Amino acid sequence: MLTNILNAFGLNADSTAVEPFGSGLINNTWKILAGDNAYILQRINTNVFKSPQDIADNLVLLQDYLHKTAPGYLFPAPLLALDRQYLVIDGDDNYRLLPFIKNSHTVDVVTQSAEAYEAAKQFGKFSRLLNDFDAGQLKYTLPDFHNLNLRVDQFRSALKTADAERLNKAAIEIKAIEEYIDIANTYRQLVNNREIPLRVIHHDTKINNVLFNADDKGLCVIDLDTVMPGYYISDVGDMMRTYLSPANEEEQNLAKIHVREDHFVAIYKGYMEEMGEVLTPAEKALFFYAGKFMIYMQAMRFLTDHLNGDIYYQTKYAGHNLLRAQNQLTLLNKYMAAKAKFEQLLDNQIQFID
Ligand code: ADP
Ligand code: GN1
Ligand code: MG
C-alpha cells in the first residue's frame, strides 16, 4: 500500500521492510529498513495539521539556521523526495521521510529522574539554540494550539452541543474544570505581559518526543510539527504533565497517579542549565504555573473531545477520553498540592506565583 510513496522517496519498495512504529496519537508512523539504512515514514494527520507544507517550510528555516549557528546539533529534519519536495502527496494524504536516528529509542513513561533531567535539557537546549532566531518568521502550524482562552471557549461550546449521555457521564469532571478556571484567568493576564516573550517553542515535550541513546542520555528532540512561536510555559508545563507521574495519561487505575517531587527538581535543573540565562525573571516565576497550565489544558482538551464524541484523539475503548480527563484532573490535584515541597527542594531560592 505504501509502494508508490516509498518509490517517490527513491526507495525500492520490494527490498524494504515496513513496520508500524511508536505510540504517537496524531500521525501514522512506520519504520523502514532498506539495506543498511533505516528511516521513519510518517503520514501527517491533515485533520489536525491543515497545511503540512507550513511544517516543512518551518523546518527548512530552522535547519538552515542551526546548520550555520550550531553545526554539530542533531536536528532530524525531513529528507527530500525525488521531485525535490519534502512532502509526497497521494490524494488527501501527505507523507514525509526522516532519517531514523541510529541506536536511539524512546520511552513512554519516565521511570527515573535522570530521564526527566535529560529530556528537559534537550528541550531547553533546543529553545536556547534558537533564542536569537526570529520566532516571527515561523508559520503557526496549529493556530491557537496552546491558547487556553480558546480551549475554554471550545470546552463551553462542546457543553452546549454534547449529547445528554456524554454530559451526564462527565458531570464531575465538568464541575472540576469550572472550579479551576483561575488557571485560565492567569493565562489571560500573562499574554499581555511584555516580560513574557514569544519564543521558538516545541509545544509537545512529552517523553516519547525525545530520543535517547543506549546509555539513556538525551540525543535530540523529535516530533517537530508544532514548533512555532509560543510561551516557554508550554514546554516546561508539558514536561511536568508527562514526567512527574509514574503512570501516564493512559493509566486507568487513578490510584497509580502521583507526583515524584525529585522529578520536578530534575526538570528544573535540566531546563535551567540551558535556559536559565535566557529567561526573564517574570518567566522564571511561572515555572510552577507552567505545570498547572498544561495539565489543566490537557484535561480540558480530553474532556472536550469526549463531549464532542471522540473526534480528535485516537481512542481504544468507549469512554477513553473521559478517563484521560479524569486522569489529568487527578494529576492536577496532586501537582497543586506539591507546590510548597517543590519550593523547599529548590532551597526556597525561587517564589513561584500561582
Ligand atoms: P506523533 O506526532 O504521532 O507523536 P512522532 O513524530 O512523535 O509522531 O513519531 C512517533 C514515534 O516514532 C516517536 O515517539 C519515536 O519513537 C519514533 N520516531 C520518530 N522520529 C524518529 C526518528 N527520526 N528516529 C527514530 N525514531 C523516531
Ligand atoms: C498529541 O502528537 P502527539 O501524540 O505527541 C497532541 C498533544 C497532546 C498529546 C496528548 C497536535 O501529541 O497536544 O498533548 O497528544 N498533539 C496535537 O498525548 O494535538
Ligand atoms: Mg510524538
Q: How many angstroms separate the alpha carbon of residue 350 from the centre of ligand 2?
A: 30
Domains 3-99 and 113-345 share a fold: no
Has domain 3-99 been given CATH number 3.30.200.20?
yes
Question: How many angstroms separate the Cα of 234 from the Cα of each of 88, 115, 185, 314?
Answer: 31, 19, 16, 22
pTM of the model: 0.94
Q: Could you state, in order of their start, the residue ranges of all structural domains in the chain? A: 3-99, 113-345
- Of the pLDDT bands very low, low, confident and very high (cuts 50, 70, 90), residue 306 is very high
Ligand 2 contact, 25 CB (< 6 A): yes
pLDDT band at 351 (very low <50, low <70, confident <90, very high): confident
Q: pLDDT tier at 132 (50, 70, 90 boundaries)?
A: very high
In terms of Cβ atoms closer than 10 Å to its own Cβ (0-12, 13-18, 19+), residue 6 is buried
Looking from the CA of residue 45, the nearest atom of ligand 2 is 11
Residue 215 pLDDT class (50, 70, 90 cuts): very high
CATH assignment of 113-345, among 3.90.226.10, 3.30.465.10, 3.90.1200.10, 3.40.50.920: 3.90.1200.10
Q: Residue 1: which pLDDT band, with cuts at 50, 70 and 90?
A: confident
Stretch 216-229: mean pLDDT: 97
Q: How would DSSP label each residue in 37-85?
A: EEEEEEEE-TTT-S-HHHHHHHHHHHHHHHHHH-TT----PPPP-TTS-
Q: How far is the CA of 297 from the centre of ligand 2 (A)?
A: 12
The pLDDT of residue 349: 82
Reported as a single tens digit per residue, the pLDDT across 85-111 is: 999 999 989 999 999 999 999 998 899
* Closest ligand 2 atom, residue 48 Cα: 11
Write down the mean pLDDT value for the chain. Answer: 96
Residue 250 above 80 pLDDT? yes
- pLDDT-based confidence at residue 276 (cuts at 50, 70, 90): very high
The answer, yes or no, to whether any atom of ligand 1 lies below 6 A from the CB of 213, is no
Residues above pLDDT 90, as percent of the chain: 94
Which of 165, 286, 182, 179 lies closest to 233, judged by CA? 286
Nearest partner of 137 among 30, 221, 63, judged by Cα: 63
What's the pLDDT band for 216 if we cut at 50, 70, 90? very high
